[in-house]
Every structure is written in C-alpha cells, then in structure tokens.
C-alpha cells in the first residue's frame, strides 16, 4: 500500500510541476487511450502515462487511468517519449511519438513482471464502499464484521440498504426491492428471498451493487431499485484460493473453500462449504381486545414466544470458463445447495379478563422441521468483436428448488388440561429458466447502442395442508388445505442509446415486458389468469463540472409483481390467533421514479448525495383484520397484503467516504424520507357487515449508518459499524426506533497469508422490531420481536498462492451495467 501511495503522490507532484512549467500560449493536443491486462484484457486502474521530453526525459504531461483503464491528457504539439507504467507490470515505452493533433493511442496492453510481482505485498486496497454516480459498490472482502455470517448480514451493512428482524430487505426504506445474483434472478432466492439470503455464506460474496434507478437494460421489477449480489470468481493465473473456518456463540460452526485454476486456455473455479448454526430468538405481544360497540377493553392477552432456529447447510459450485478463441468465451457453472434444520417455537398465551384479572394460560408448541435443496445450471457465450466494447452475449440458466416444511403443533390449556394436536405440511417446488441475450455496439468514441431480449419462466407449486388429531385419527382441515400453483412467463425486449458531448452525457432507453401469469388453487378449483404488457421508459442525464464534480438527473418506470406467499391464502399456523394470509386478488403496483444526484470527490473525502421521488400506483401494504373466528373466546386476526390507491415517497440521502488519516477510514450513510399513503380498504366481517378502514397516512422517518475502520499497532485492524432506524408511523400504528452496533478485530498472520478475525454482531443485543398497532373497535397491541440474539464469531482465513491484496482482486468492469458507463460512473 505504501508503494501505491508513493506512486500516486509522485504522479500528482509531477503533474503539478508540469502544469506550472508549461507555457500558457503553446498549442495543445489531447492524448487518449486505454490500458488493459494483456492476459485477462481487464482494465488497469491507476496506471500512469507520461509524455517526456526527448532530450532530457523530463515529464511534460501525463495522466492516471480511471476504473475503466481510460486516460486523457493535454500536451503541447511536438515529439515525445511515451511511457506507460503500472506496479508489478512491465513498462511499455514508445520511443518517439509525433503529436500534432488530437491522438488516440488505442488499447495498450501490459504484461505481468514476475520479478516485481515477487516483491509486492500490497498494491491497491480499495475502500469498503466505492461511490459512483449511478450506483454504490460495496466490497465485501474489506468488511470484517460479516465474517462467519450470511449474505443477509452483508446486506445489512450496505449503504442505503436495511434488513429488518424478519430478514426482509429494504432500499431507502422501501421494501419493493429486486434481488439479483450475478446480474440475474437466481433459483437461490426463488421461493423465500429472506431465508435464501440467510443460508448463503458471506464469504461467497465478492461485492454488492446498489442501483437505485436502473436503466432499461435491467428488469423493470422492483420499485425501489435493484440490489445485485456478485459472487466470487477466480481471476488470478495458476492455482490459488482460500480456506475459511468459523466458530461462534451461539452455536455457529462451518467452513468455506474457494479454489481457482487459470491458464491461457481456460479458467476452472470451484467452491464448497458447510455451516451449522443454532440461533435463539424471542418475541412477545401484549394485546387489548376491544368491544366492537363501545371500544372498551373486553380482554387482555400476553403472548410470549421463544424459538431456536437450527440449520445445517451444504453448498458447492463448479465452473469452467473456456477461451475458445481470443474473442469467444464459453462459461458453464453449476451450483448445489442443501439445507435442513429445525425451528422449535414455544408460545405461551396468558389470558386476562376486562379487569386484567388472570384467567388461564395456553401453551402452543410448534415443532417445525425444514429441508430444502437447490440445483442451478448456467451457461454464457461472450463474443467480442474488433472494436473495443463491441460484443454479443448469450446467457441461459435453469434451476430447480424444493423446500419442505413440516410441523407438529400441540396446544394445551393448563386450567382444563384440554390439549389438541395439529400437523402442517408445506411442500414447495419451483423450476425456473432464463434466456437472455445482449448486444452492445459502440458508435464513434463516445456513443453506444445496446439492445437485448430476456425470457424469464417460473413455475411454483405449493402443497399446503393442516390435519387435526381427533378420536385417535388425523382429520384434514379443508379451511387450510389446498395446492397452489403459480406460473409466470415474462418476455422482455429493450433498447437504449447513450452518448457524451463534451461534459454532458445522456442515455435514453425503452423496455417492453409482456407478462402472462396463472394463479390456480387445484383442490378448490379456483383459477385466475392475469395477462398484461407494459412499456418502461428510462432517461439519464449527467453533467461533469470537473473530473471530480458531477450532477445527474434520472427517471425510470418500475413494476412490482406479487408472488408466492403474498398470493397464497393458505399459510402458516404457528399462532392460531395471529395468522398470516396471502391475497390472491393482489395486482402489480407501478412506480415512477425520479432521482437527482450529485457527486463530489476531494483528496480525502467523497460525497454522493441525492434527492428522490417515487409515485406508486396500486401499492400493496399489510393490514390486520378480524377473521370472525374465535378460539377460547379470543378473536383471530389475520395479517394480509392489500392494494392501496397511491403511495408517494420523497427522500434525501447522502453517503460519505472519508479518510482523515492513512490509518483511519470512515463511511457514513444518512437517509431521510417522507411516505404518504392515500387509500382505504373495505371488507365484510363475520356479521356480514361492511367494514370500511381509511388507511391514508403520512409518515416521516430516517436511518443512518456509520462504519469506522482503524489500523492499530502490530498489524491489527479494528472495525465498528453502528446503525439507527428512526421511528415510523404506519397506517395502523407505529414502529419504534432501533439502534444496533457490530464490531470486529482482525490480524494478518503467517506472513500475510492468513487472517484471524473476531467479530460481534449486535453488540448491545438491541436489534429488535418494536411495533404498536391500533385498530378502532377491534384491537390495541404492543409487540417486540428479536429474530437473532447477539452473535460472536471467530474466523480463520488462509490464502494460498496469493497475498491478501493480490492485484487480481481488482474488480473487472461491470458488464451488467452496459451503457450506464456514460453516466459518469
């Protein structure tokens, strides 16, 4: 790292001397080009280009490459000695170059210098968060607090992203988020996104991209934007890899291995891992049942719940990247995931009368087990043409996912000794296939056209049933039994064009999606088909005041389709007085998204700030309503999603990267938003009475996150993350603020080939969802829910045939971004 900093400082000093020494009246020309790795053809960031005097070799002008490997500098007309340098690579020299007009040096390839490489321990350490104008890139490898954790833990540390106690992901406070893996929908997150993210190990993730206003190239799904999880893939030559082991309390044991072998003809990569965890959680709900005529309290219920989520997981992946020719690459990969576990859920209901005098206690024990399996295959062809950036890609992937949940539920009333036994079966199977092709055509030096097709086909079957044990026999309950089939066929076409005119950039695009969705309940013979097609325009404008100072304005239209449990009315029965019900009548919601962004970089500080506005039609929200059923005198309430008329969301956020000293790095993110709902909901209660509920509501809230990384003596790194989610009013109550913190210590050992890290997740054991619900003439309740208690992990990572900051960790340009490069990113 010292050598890299020294090179940067020397370059800046030389540049300053050059600019001071140049004659102001000399005619100047512009020199441009691009520097890439001769083996991988990936861009080299921070490479130095010098134009030197032919007589005394003094530097006249020069530049440093950006993250795309591009450079540009001005120099007076004349003959020059050109030199291109990058640490651990052989220097390229052009002995005599006549520069009388604007000149492009084209693509310059640098080859590794084996002698230099042996001496290098650290070349370029990227910050944990890279801020770009159109997205934020979170480099997972730099974050010690997620070691031994899951992808869910990773996302909870990403700027603009929050993960609640149920594992649901939100972007800028909006849970309408599209989750992608390696730029496309994945079978790993096919059935239950929250559960899938908890089973995927953090060590398998390379980086996370947050795209708040995606272009037409991306899925139109996700009104809040896209979170793209990019998995690790080997890039270094030869055999190399890493091994990671973790042990934690509460029980968390496992390991993960990544191995890569790369030659000039192919790149073979594989990973496999195992994890066992047993995470305790708890919750309680205090409810006041109200008289529907007077509104007075008629009874009280205190619900206390404890559970332990036990999980054993295996994952393996294999891939081969085959360089058929210099311009044609064929990549195949297969991923396997298997998880099984148990979730014993013990609930006590203490019942009281209207005077809060104790009546009796019920105990409901839900002994749940789970088994899931996922298999996914993907293939990719990439054909590059002669012109840099001109390429055609074809992707195909197919996956199958099985998720089986079985539970035996015993319910005992202690005052009478009466006990009931139920059992539930919830078997899900999903198959998914995706075909995608993208064509990118550069036009001139600063324009680009892009077009493509995507076909996404999903078939999900849920077999759910409930049986009651009565008279020494199991009797089926038809009210909670059915087979639910969800079939989705989405065909999409898109085209977009981007260009840069001086300091002004623009990109316009249009996406067309045709949706054909079937929702079938086989046992009740209810069938519903929804067909619709939509156009999704996008516009991006950007202006660079200077190389480190730019502003952008963007617009896109998005869609959010309800899926899975949101549509299935036959769902969980762990609590029989507070149940969840899907709504098969849900329609998709549409969002018009506007974003005004500003990016400014200083020597030690980078600021990215934006104001955004989203208008969502047919927004769906969760409500709580009475079902009309009564158990032991207690009314049963259902939580269900419904379409509301309109949702307006306005917000402001900023993200900061600050390095006050070489040994101290700070990242901060703050988001403030206003959320307004306009709508009502009407349903028929058990007395055949129409119940009208005005759900209009205006809420203000904010959240902030700060991360600090300090390099201590003796090679010890110390990292601390703190997050605060402010209180927020909802249409039927209020959620309270949540403050939580994580910390970690790490040290490199064995000549920097290994790292040992200690991290504490939720230091103060304060990450709890606290909500208050108020429904006039029905219910008042207060609840607190903690998904996972404080976690302490100790991890050991060993790297073979590569150092901690191996140059090959450099991230290659995001091919998924396509034309977005014209937006100043």
**Helical H segments across 161-214, by residue range:** 193-199
- Consecutive H or E run containing 282: strand 266-290
- Consecutive H or E run containing 756: strand 754-761
Rounded to whole angstroms, the Cα distance separating 547 from 423 reads 64
- Structure-token pair, residue 312: 């054993």
**Contact criterion met (CB below 8 Å) for 389 and 442:** yes
Beta strands of 212-265 (E only): which ranges?
Answer: 225-231, 238-249, 252-262
Give the pLDDT of residue 12.
41
Rounded to whole angstroms, the Cα distance separating 815 from 818 reads 6
Rounded to whole angstroms, the Cα distance separating 259 from 768 reads 38
Rounded to whole angstroms, the Cα distance separating 815 from 395 reads 13
Averaged pLDDT for residues 713-725: 89
Is residue 821 classed as helix, strand or coil in its secondary structure? helix
Dihedral sign, CA of 141, 147, 151, 154?
A: negative
Neighbours of 769 (CB within 10 A): 17
Q: Which residue ranges make up each domain of the chain?
A: 2-119, 238-470+485-802
Give the pLDDT of residue 15.
45
**Contact criterion met (CB below 8 Å) for 180 and 186:** yes
Residue bearing the bigger pLDDT, 427 or 223: 427
Over its C-alpha atoms, the chain yields an Rg (Å, rounded) of 29
User: What phi and psi values does residue 590 have, to the nearest 5 degrees?
Assistant: -125, 135
**Contact criterion met (CB below 8 Å) for 366 and 405:** no
pTM, two decimals, is 0.73
Query: Does 354 score more than 50 pLDDT?
Result: yes
DSSP calls for 1-66 = -HHHHHHHHHHHHHHHHHHHHS-TTS-EEEEEEEEEETTT--B-TT-EEEEEETTT--EEEEEE--
Query: Does 170 score more than 60 pLDDT?
Result: yes
Which residues does residue 281 pair with via DSSP β-bridges, in sequence order?
Answer: 307
Q: Where does 2-119 sit in CATH, by number? A: 2.60.40.10
Query: Does 85 score more than 60 pLDDT?
Result: yes
Contacts of 235 (CB under 8 A, 6+ apart): 40, 42, 260, 262, 267, 808, 809, 810, 812
User: What phi and psi values does residue 59 have, to the nearest 5 degrees?
Assistant: -75, 125
Of 306-310, 484-488, 776-780, 814-818, which gets the smallest average pLDDT? 814-818
Give the pLDDT of residue 626.
72
Rounded to whole angstroms, the Cα distance separating 381 from 682 reads 52
Rounded to whole angstroms, the Cα distance separating 727 from 743 reads 24
pLDDT tens digit sequence for 237-295: 567 788 889 999 999 999 888 888 878 788 888 888 898 999 898 999 999 999 888 88
CA angle 580, 582, 586 (to 5 degrees): 145
Exposure string over 582-606, b if 16+ CB within 10 A, otherwise e: bbbebebbbbebbbebbbbbeeeeb
- Structure-token pair, residue 694: 């005005």
Dihedral sign, CA of 48, 655, 745, 142?
A: negative
Give the pLDDT of residue 149.
67
Averaged pLDDT for residues 529-546: 92
Of 164-178, 495-509, 635-649, which gets the smallest average pLDDT? 164-178
**Contact criterion met (CB below 8 Å) for 494 and 217:** yes
**Contact criterion met (CB below 8 Å) for 401 and 429:** yes
Peptide bond into 582 cis (omega under 30): no
Cα 530 to chain centroid, rounded: 29
- Domain 238-470+485-802: which topology? Maltoporin; Chain A (2.40.170)
Query: Does 329 score more than 80 pLDDT?
Result: yes
Q: Is 422 exposed, middle or buried (0-12, 13-18, 19+ CB in 10 A)?
A: buried
Residue bearing the bigger pLDDT, 740 or 679: 740
| Mean per-residue pLDDT over the chain, rounded | 82
Q: Is 225 exposed, middle or buried (0-12, 13-18, 19+ CB in 10 A)?
A: buried
Which of 368, 379, 463 lies closest to 406, judged by CA? 368
Rounded to whole angstroms, the Cα distance separating 772 from 768 reads 13
CA angle 189, 794, 706 (to 5 degrees): 70
- Consecutive H or E run containing 609: strand 605-617
């Amino acid at each position: 790292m010292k050598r890299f900093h020294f090179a940067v400082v020397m370059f800046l000093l030389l540049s300053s001397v050059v600019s001071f020494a140049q004659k102001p009246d000399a005619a100047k020309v512009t020199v441009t080009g691009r520097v890439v790795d001769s083996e991988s053809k990936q861009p080299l960031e921070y490479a130095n280009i010098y134009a030197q005097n032919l007589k005394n070799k003094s530097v006249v002008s020069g530049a440093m490459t950006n993250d795309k490997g591009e450079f540009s500098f001005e120099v007076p007309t004349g003959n020059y000695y050109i030199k291109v340098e990058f640490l651990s690579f052989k220097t390229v020299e052009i002995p005599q170059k006549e520069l009388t007009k604007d000149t492009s040096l084209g693509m310059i390839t640098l080859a590794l210098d084996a002698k230099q490489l042996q001496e290098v321990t650290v070349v370029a350490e990227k910050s944990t968060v890279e801020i770009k104008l159109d997205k934020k890139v979170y480099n997972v490898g730099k974050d010690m607090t997620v070691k031994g954790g899951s992808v869910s833990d990773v996302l909870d540390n990403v700027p603009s992203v929050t993960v609640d106690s149920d594992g649901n992901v939100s972007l800028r406070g909006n849970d309408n988020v599209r989750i992608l893996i390696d730029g496309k929908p994945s079978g790993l997150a096919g059935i239950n996104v929250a559960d899938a993210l908890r089973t995927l190990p953090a060590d398998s993730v390379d980086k996370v991209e947050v795209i708040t206003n995606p272009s037409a190239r991306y899925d139109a799904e996700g009104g809040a934007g896209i979170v793209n999880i990019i998995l690790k893939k080997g890039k270094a030559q030869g055999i190399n890899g890493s091994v990671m082991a973790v042990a934690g309390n509460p029980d968390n044991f496992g390991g993960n291995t990544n191995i890569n072998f790369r030659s000039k003809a192919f790149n073979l990569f594989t990973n496999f891992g195992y994890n066992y965890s047993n995470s305790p959680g708890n919750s309680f709900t205090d409810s006041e049942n109200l008289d529907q005529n007077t509104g007075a309290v008629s009874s009280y219920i205190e619900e206390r719940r404890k559970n332990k989520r036990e999980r054993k997981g295996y994952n393996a992946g294999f891939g081969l990247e085959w360089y058929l020719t210099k311009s044609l690459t064929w990549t195949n990969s297969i991923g396997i995931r298997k998880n099984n576990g148990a979730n014993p859920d013990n609930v006590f209901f203490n019942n009281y009368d209207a005077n809060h005098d104790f009546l009796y206690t019920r105990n409901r024990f839900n002994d749940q087990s789970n088994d899931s399996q996922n298999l996914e295959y993907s293939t990719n062809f990439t054909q590059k043409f002669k012109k840099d950036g001109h390429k055609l890609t074809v992707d195909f992937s197919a996956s199958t996912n099985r998720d089986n949940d079985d539970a035996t539920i015993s319910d005992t009333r202690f005052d009478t000794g009466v006990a009931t036994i139920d059992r539930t079966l919830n078997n899900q199977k999903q198959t998914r296939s995706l075909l995608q092709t993208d064509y990118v055509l550069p036009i001139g030096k600063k324009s680009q056209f892009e077009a493509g097709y995507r076909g996404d086909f999903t078939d999900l079957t849920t077999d759910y049933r409930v049986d009651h044990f009565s008279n020494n026999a199991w009797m089926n309950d038809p009210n909670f039994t059915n087979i639910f089939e969800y079939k989705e066929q989405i065909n999409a076409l898109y085209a977009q064009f981007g260009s840069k005119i001086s300091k002004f950039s623009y990109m316009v695009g249009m996406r067309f999606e045709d949706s054909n969705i079937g929702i079938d309940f086989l046992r009740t013979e209810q069938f519903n088909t929804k067909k619709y097609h939509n156009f999704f325009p996008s516009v991006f404008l950007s202006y660079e005041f200077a190389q480190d100072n730019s502003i952008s304005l963007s617009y896109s239209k998005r869609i959010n389709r309800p899926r899975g449990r949101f549509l299935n009315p036959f769902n969980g029965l762990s609590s029989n007085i507070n149940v969840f019900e899907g709504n098969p009548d849900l329609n998709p919601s549409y969002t018009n998204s506007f974003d005004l962004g500003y990016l400014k970089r200083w020597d030690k500080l980078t600021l990215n700030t934006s104001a955004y506005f989203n208008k969502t039609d047919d927004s769906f929200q969760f409500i709580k309503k009475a079902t009309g059923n009564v158990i032991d005198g207690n009314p049963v309430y259902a939580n269900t999603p419904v379409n509301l008329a309109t949702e307006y969301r306005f917000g402001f956020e900023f993200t900061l990267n600050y390095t006050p000293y070489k040994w101290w790095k700070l990242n901060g993110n703050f988001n403030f938003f206003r959320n307004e709902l306009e709508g009502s909901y009407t349903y028929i209660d058990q007395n055949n009475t129409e119940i009208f509920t005005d759900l209009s509501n205006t809420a203000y809230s904010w959240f902030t996150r700060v991360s600090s990384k300090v390099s201590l003596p003796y090679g010890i790194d110390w990292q601390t993350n703190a997050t605060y989610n402010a209180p927020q009013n909802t249409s039927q109550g209020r959620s309270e603020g949540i403050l939580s913190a994580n910390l970690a210590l790490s040290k490199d050992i064995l000549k920097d080939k290994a790292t040992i890290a200690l991290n504490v997740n939720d230091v103060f054991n304060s990450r709890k969802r606290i909500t208050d619900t108020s429904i006039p003439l029905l219910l008042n309740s207060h609840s607190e829910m903690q998904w996972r208690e404080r976690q302490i992990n100790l991890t050991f990572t060993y790297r073979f045939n590569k150092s901690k900051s191996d140059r090959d960790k450099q991230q290659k340009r995001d091919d998924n971004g396509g034309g977005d490069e014209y937006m100043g990113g």
